[in-house]
Amino acid sequence: MAKYPRVASLKTVDDFRGRLNDLDLRMPVQDRVEPGPDSVLAQPATVNGVSIGNRFCILPMEGWDGTTDGRPTDLTRRRWQNFGISGAKLIWGGEAVAVRHDGRANPNQLCMQGDNANEIAELHDLLIHAHQERFGDTEDLLVGLQLTHSGRYARPNQKAVAEPRAVQRNPALDDRVGVVDSSGLISDDELKSLIEDFVRSAVEAQKIGFRFVDVKHCHGYLGHELLSGMDRPGPFGGSFENRTRFLREIVAGIRAEAPGLEIGVRFSLFDFVPFVTGDDSVGTPDQRGDSRLHFGCTHDGLGIDLETPVRFVQLLDSLGIRLICTTAGSPYSTPHLQRPAFFPPSDGYQPPEDPLVGVDRQILATAALKQQCPDAFIVGSGYTYLQDWIGHVGQAVVDAGMADSIGLGRMVLSYPDLPADIIAGTQVQRKRICRTFSDCTTAPRKGMISGCYPLDPFYKQMPERTELAKLKKESTNMV
């Protein structure tokens, strides 16, 4: 277990600040979270003429709970309803929806194929309805759909069988998913047809009523891997122009086929070389890591270089894209960058740093991006580990112009309406605060549906909870 003090043990804002000082971290913190309509986090914003009613955003989160042909189930519907009652006025994508079958990250991922759009429409409508019922107004609620192809991490048919469609060889990643030579790399012709699938899915999303689509470029999936496709020959690799061709052609297609639909891009602002489990189960960099193949990474593979990411956001700006969501790394190769956690998922490594360092890294990198790209509306991620202090830091970040919106992921699985409580000034319910137990990641890694088994009463009473506890115990015994 991690050797760092738990955030729950920091009882006052001064204790929390003291810990940040001990670690030499620079994220801002305010003493008091202001409630009410005049508060910083309740302020509306306008992006490309579209209103967003406050500064909370729900980040996309899938539940590995769709049908094998890519349609939602009751569990998916429940999650989207929870997003609707969260109080956040920006819903960034709901969850990753594959634009075609071979791009699914698991056999239960939603997929925009056949007549599935009808049921994905139901998710949209349930969310809007839930928001209307609770808050009485959806005029300033902006809801988008995240479109994806999982590339290297595709597992479309069987949970345990990787069917990677990687962009290029990568020595530190290939054997994780069974890439043994270049024969299975995704071809240029496949990328061209995939661009059409993205555009077709965006057209469906617009018909449903989604106001924007996120062309996903994060977490090691296809769009993200293309951004660092330095070793890929041909029109989609090598130069910056080639590495962004996929995105640019999707955007051109959407502009032509779905005029009026806003486009957003969620991307991993930085990455490090892949980490592996080292001594004492603590994460350590894989010696085979090649920093050139990881976007936003310094030459030594363990630092942030924002030169190309800034250029990327400037390119997006020139394409009229102002909706940006930053995240970091990959949940497979650098989970401590991406979702800082006290307890890692059972197939992961123990955190190599106090997870607060990971939160600080995302906040400061996002602030540096915002400074260089002031016209972008930038949503930050990775705040859940702050737990009781999300409001204090989130308010300070927005107040200082270090990000425009505070994105929440895991926290809304355990405590869906935390944003509403913060804005209303209602006493935050400590027993619902996500303590980063990582069951929502461990469960799908074990082939089960995701959900907050420790804290959400609905998942707590499921038989899967017992099963998960058993599997976790078995893997601990194996170490």
Ligand X SMILES: Cc1cc2nc3c(=O)[nH]c(=O)nc-3n(C[C@H](O)[C@H](O)[C@H](O)COP(=O)(O)O)c2cc1C
The DSSP bridge partners found for residue 90 are 57, 142
Q: Does residue number 414 form part of the binding site for ligand SF4 (CB under 6 A)?
A: yes
19, two tokens: 């810990």
CA distance 20 to 14: 10
Instruction: Retrieve residue 240's tokens.
Output: 């910056």
Looking at 201, 268, 327, 346, which residue binds ligand X (CB under 6 A)?
327
Helices (runs of H) and strands (runs of E) counted in the chain: 17, 13
Q: Which of 168/436 has CB closer to ligand X? A: 436
Query: What distance in Å separates the CA atoms of residue 6 and residue 8, rounded to the nearest whole number?
Result: 5
Task: Confirm or reject binding of residue 438 to ligand SF4 (CB under 6 A).
Answer: yes
What would the two tokens of residue 477 be? 């015994």
User: What's the closest the beta carbon of residue 233 comes to ligand X, in angstroms?
Assistant: 29
Residues 127-135: contacts with CB under 8 Å, at least 24 apart:
127/80, 127/81, 127/83, 127/84, 127/91, 127/94, 128/84, 128/209, 129/84, 130/81, 130/82, 130/84, 130/85, 131/84, 131/85, 133/85, 134/84, 134/85, 134/87, 134/420, 135/87, 135/420
Residues that contact ligand X, how many (by CB under 6 A): 24
Judged by CB under 6 A, the residue of 393, 434, 448, 449 near ligand SF4 is 434
Chosen from ligand SF4, ligand X, none, partner binding at 56 (C-beta under 5 to 8 Å by type) = none
Going by C-beta distance under 8 Å and a sequence separation of 6 or more, which residues neighbour residue 208? 117, 120, 121, 124, 145
Pull the structure tokens for residue 191: 């990328």
Q: What angle do CA 52, 55, 61 make, to 5 degrees?
A: 90
Q: Is-contact 434 414, C-beta < 8 A?
A: yes
Residue nearest to ligand X (CB): 409
Of 441, 442, 448, 449, the residue at the interface with ligand X (CB under 6 A) is 441
Please, which residues have CB within 8 angstroms of residue 61's CB and are 6 or more apart in sequence?
79, 95, 409, 410, 412, 413, 450
Give one DSSP letter per residue of 134-154, joined into a string: HHS--TT-EEEEEEE--GGG-
DSSP state, residue 104 = -
Beta strand pairing status for 45-47 and 50-52?
antiparallel
According to the binding rule CB under 6 A, does residue 154 interact with ligand X?
no
Is 383 or 437 the residue whose CB approaches ligand SF4 more closely? 437
Nearest-approach distance from CB 443 to ligand SF4, in angstroms: 8
Shortest gap between Cβ of 83 and ligand X (angstroms)?
Answer: 12
266 sits near ligand X (criterion: CB under 6 A):
yes
State the binding string over 444-463 for ligand SF4 (x if CB under 6 A, else -).
Answer: --------xxxx--------
Using rule CB under 6 A, residue 410 touches ligand X = yes
Phi, psi of 181 (to 5 degrees): -155, -175
Using DSSP, state whether 272 is helix, strand or coil.
coil
| 346 contributes a contact to ligand X by CB under 6 A | no
**What string marks each residue from 9 to 48 as x (binds ligand X by CB under 6 A) or -?**
----------------------------------------
Q: Which does 333 bind (CB under 5 to 8 A by kind): ligand SF4, ligand X, none?
A: none
- Within positions 383 to 412, which residues make up the interface with ligand SF4, using CB under 6 A? 410
The stretch near ligand X (CB under 6 A) out of 136-144, 224-232, 268-276, 405-413 is: 405-413
Residue 61 interacting with ligand X (CB under 6 A): yes
- Which value, to the nearest 10 degrees, does the dihedral of the CA atoms of residues 441, 396, 431, 446 take? 0
Considering only residues 142, 199, 413, 423, which one is a binding residue for ligand SF4 as defined by CB under 6 A? 413
- Give least dist CB 451 to ligand X, A: 8
**240: nearest Cα among 222, 253, 228, 224:** 228
Report what 166 binds from ligand X, ligand SF4, none; CB cut-off 5-8 Å by kind: none
In angstroms, give the least distance from the CB of 319 to ligand SF4.
Answer: 35
Closer residue to ligand X (CB): 177 or 452: 452
Alpha-carbon gap, residue 220 to 372, rounded angstroms: 25
Q: Binding to ligand X (CB under 6 A): which residues in 91-120?
A: 95-96
Query: Out of ligand X, ligand SF4, none, which partner does residue 71 contact, by CB within 5 to 8 A per kind?
Result: none
Q: Print the binding letters for residues 348-387 with ligand X: x by CB under 6 A, - otherwise.
A: ---------------------------------xxxxx--
172 binds ligand X (CB under 6 A): no
Residues of this chain that bind ligand X (CB under 6 A): 59-62, 95-96, 146, 216, 218, 266, 327, 339, 381-385, 408-411, 440-441, 450
Give the footprint of ligand SF4 on this chain (CB under 6 A).
410, 413-414, 434-440, 452-455
